[in-house]
């Protein structure tokens, strides 16, 4: 599928996805309201529309571009913000996504690839790693709204034949991740250490997540263009990594001596998660390849160059 529309394309992960699509020779249009993304992340070969996915004018973009494939990353993705302002969270993640899928149906889009969350939909599991069959039981409004759109995708597939693949992301890290947001501890810790700021860990440092380098996530998106119709798949290593392990890995990569400050755990955040990607290997032929040590080294190098203005 050559004609592609990517939402949230000025953001961290989606901007890398756009680069990969363009390298494959696709004609790419991108949508982003720049509320959290950056114009500098946009590929100059993509046609950029500064627009919110909730906006009625999204219709004009679809009429002009008539995409065959949509890769949907635009979202309110801050767990803490979803707890504080659940109405806004639902407006973006549910109503905005519904506006998108209605336009997909209207112009005859063949497939949607949806960036969902494996870190938030399962809640606080008691089995590790977590498979897709595990009960969905979110502890945050963000987890709920991201899951709601999975149901819409399933319904539109059954009613209208609109194909989809849901990719439930782990904690993704790498170049272009925003160090000023609430998510992305690799970016946050790296930039803080480079600035001489003592990093803060929320909780006791034992909270775990499953960390996958952005290149591996992009590869899953590229495979899903042609595979995985009607499927929901976890992406992950199936390994728990603690907040302190991330802190220590960044500290060692930067060769600095610093100890973290510990702060109160934030509402809506789960204690432990890691994702079983057996289904991704079976359905997509995908598994992660970039080790945590190598990935953090690449990420740290990116932020060092950025700080040096290179």
Q: In angstroms, rounded to a whole number, what is the distance separating the alpha carbons of residues 116 and 113?
A: 9
Q: Is the dihedral of CA 85, 87, 90, 93 positive or negative?
A: negative
Longest CA pairwise span in the chain (Å): 58
Query: What distance in Å separates the CA atoms of residue 37 and residue 212, rounded to the nearest whole number?
Result: 20
Radius of gyration of the chain (CA): 19
Q: So which residues are the catalytic ones?
A: 142
Neighbours of 80 (CB within 10 A): 16
How far is the CA of 275 from the CAs of 83, 133, 170, 249, 302, in angstroms?
23, 11, 7, 21, 27
SS3 169: strand
Residue with tokens 């599991």: 125
Cβ–Cβ < 8 Å for 221, 20: yes
Q: Which residues contact 286 (CB under 8 A, 6 or more apart)?
A: 216, 219, 220, 223, 235, 277, 280
């Amino acid at each position: 599928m050559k004609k592609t529309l990517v939402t949230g394309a000025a953001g961290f992960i989606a901007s890398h996805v756009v680069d990969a699509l363009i390298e494959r020779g696709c004609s790419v249009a991108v949508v982003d309201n720049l509320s959290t993304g950056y114009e500098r992340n946009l590929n100059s070969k993509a046609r950029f529309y500064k627009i919110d996915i909730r906006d009625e004018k999204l219709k004009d973009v679809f009429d002009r571009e008539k995409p065959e494939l949509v890769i949907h990353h635009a979202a309110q993705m801050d767990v803490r913000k979803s707890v504080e302002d659940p109405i806004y969270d639902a407006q973006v993640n549910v109503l905005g996504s519904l506006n998108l899928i209605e336009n997909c149906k209207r112009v005859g889009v063949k497939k949607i690839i949806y960036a969902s969350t494996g870190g938030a939909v399962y809640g606080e599991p008691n089995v590790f790693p977590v498979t897709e069959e595990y009960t969905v039981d979110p502890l945050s409004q963000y987890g709920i709204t991201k899951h709601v759109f999975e149901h819409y995708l399933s319904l539109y597939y059954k009613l209208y034949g609109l194909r989809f693949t849901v990719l439930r992301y782990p904690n993704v890290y790498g170049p272009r991740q925003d160090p000023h947001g609430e998510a992305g501890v690799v970016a946050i810790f790296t930039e803080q250490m480079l600035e001489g700021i003592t990093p803060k860990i929320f909780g006791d440092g034992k909270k775990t997540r499953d960390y996958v380098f952005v290149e591996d996530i992009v590869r899953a998106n590229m495979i899903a263009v042609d595979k995985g119709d009607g499927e929901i798949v976890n992406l992950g290593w199936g390994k728990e990594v603690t907040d302190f392990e991330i802190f220590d890995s960044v500290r060692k990569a930067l060769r600095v001596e610093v100890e973290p400050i510990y702060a109160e755990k934030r509402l809506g955040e789960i204690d432990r998660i890691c994702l079983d990607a057996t289904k991704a290997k079976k359905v997509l032929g995908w598994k992660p390849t970039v080790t945590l040590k190598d990935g953090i080294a690449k990420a740290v190098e990116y932020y060092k160059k950025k700080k040096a203005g290179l």
